Amino acid sequence: MELSFITLREKPAMKNAAADWFHSKWGVPKEAYLTCMDSYLKGETEPSRMYIHR
């Protein structure tokens, strides 16, 4: 099975599902992930990219 990764900017509609997944794995509040992801999607945090395995 080949793994492929995409950036959150390629599929911004996956933001909530991704935040749910990260929250379920590490227990960090979902809102913290959403805040970070929103900053990334707005181009405010370019060095820290968000990738999603699909």
Task: Indicate the SS3 state at residue 19.
Answer: helix
Sequence spans of domains, the chain: 5-53
| Model confidence at 54: pLDDT above 70 | no
d(CA 52, CA 54): 6
Predicted local distance difference test score (pLDDT) of residue 49 = 61
pLDDT per position as a tens digit, 24-51: 999 999 999 999 999 989 988 865 566 6
The pLDDT value given to residue 50? 63
What is the distance between the alpha carbons of residues 25 and 20, in angstroms, rounded to a whole number? 9
- As a whole number of angstroms, the distance between CA 30 and CA 21 comes to 9
